Amino acid sequence: MAKYIIKRVAISLVTIWAIITITFILMHSVPGNPFRSESKMPPGVYENLLKKYGLDKPLPEQYTIYLKRLLKGDFGESMKSRVETVNDMINRGFPVSAYLGLQALIIALCFGPALGVIAALNQNKWPDYLSMVIAILGISVPSFIMGTIFIQFLARNISWLPIAGWGTFAHTILPSLALAMMPLAYIARLMRSSMLEILGQDYIKTAKSKGISKSAVVLKHAVRNAILPIVSVLGTLVSNLLVGSFVVEKIFGIPGLGMSFVSSISNRDYTLIMGTTIFYAIILIVMLLLVDIAYVFVDPRIKLTKEGR
């Protein structure tokens, strides 16, 4: 297994390098630069700014300079924010987004599979329809609408919770809920179809023929096997949640990473674009690796060996 992990990490480094290169090329091939839009700027100042951030040098040179700094773990200075470096922004925003994302993930993982199992066990009866209505709403209603509905009913009408802001646990509840709805619904639907498939398997009949209780059949035999497809989507889901959602963070005024991610692009903040992209890529790759390792524990048929792949 150690060998497998080392190999995967090596491959991941290549992947990250490719992502860096492609992002760098794409970013610079878009016309304009971070300072062009500020039209009132005198030409001298403009040139000085370009010089300060090294943007006057030829692209290949900029690329090698960037890579060298990156190797030292330095994402560089933000071209828009004069007080924070990109590292500062990630260090400040990520814990906030990750906290929110984790909380949303816990909500999604507590209710999503349960909803799916209930639906599958009551196929074509009202609990099934109810669960699937919730799931379809969760998937099709965008989080900004979900968020504003939550604010309207839970924060304004009955003022149980703060409307927006960041600081206490109460502040995290509504955004976590808004963030959790989509993955929750997605997991519920996945779990339902997976459960329906597993419940039709021969080994469920074998389990029933042993005379064990219905709940033991469902939990030990059906859910245990139906959870496998959920594990495989978890990698992408978790990394999306951790890095944060621009929309939800914007609505609830949360100083997370999702905000920097989107604003970096509209601002043409080159270093911030690179920084957030690389950061997201690393998280995604780590999560996918974790999921593959987790598979060994949930599915005995999978073994990670050096010949494995």
Q: Which residue, chain included where needed, has tokens 């066990």?
A: 121
- The nearer residue to other proteins, 192 or 221, going by C-beta atoms, is 221
- The nearer residue to other proteins, 146 or 291, going by C-beta atoms, is 291
Contact between 207 and other proteins per CB under 8 A: yes
Contact between 122 and other proteins per CB under 8 A: no
77 bridge partner residues: 85
Contact between 211 and other proteins per CB under 8 A: yes
85 bridge partner residues: 77
Contact between 148 and other proteins per CB under 8 A: no
H/E element holding 129? helix 126-140
Residue pair 252/164 in contact (Cβ under 8 Å)? The answer is: yes
Contact between 202 and other proteins per CB under 8 A: yes
Contacts of the segment 7-14: beta carbons below 8 A, 24+ positions apart: 7/306, 8/289, 8/292, 9/289, 12/285, 12/289
Contact between 125 and other proteins per CB under 8 A: no
Question: Rounded to the nearest whole angstrom, what is the least distance from the CB of residue 296 to other proteins in the complex?
Answer: 12
Contact between 80 and other proteins per CB under 8 A: no
Contacts of the segment 271-274: beta carbons below 8 A, 24+ positions apart: 271/53, 271/75, 271/76, 271/77, 271/78, 271/79, 271/86, 272/78, 272/79, 272/80, 272/81, 272/86, 272/89, 273/23, 273/27, 274/20, 274/23, 274/24, 274/27, 274/66, 274/75, 274/76, 274/86
Question: Rounded to the nearest whole angstrom, what is the least distance from the CB of residue 298 to other proteins in the complex?
Answer: 7
Contact between 114 and other proteins per CB under 8 A: no
Site for other proteins in 220-249 (CB under 8 A): 220-221, 224-225
Among 25-33, 83-91, 102-110, 199-207, the segment contacting other proteins (CB under 8 A): 199-207
Contact between 209 and other proteins per CB under 8 A: yes
Contact between 208 and other proteins per CB under 8 A: yes
Contact between 309 and other proteins per CB under 8 A: no
Contact between 205 and other proteins per CB under 8 A: yes
Contact residues: other proteins, CB under 8 A: 201-203, 205-214, 216, 220-221, 224-225, 298-301
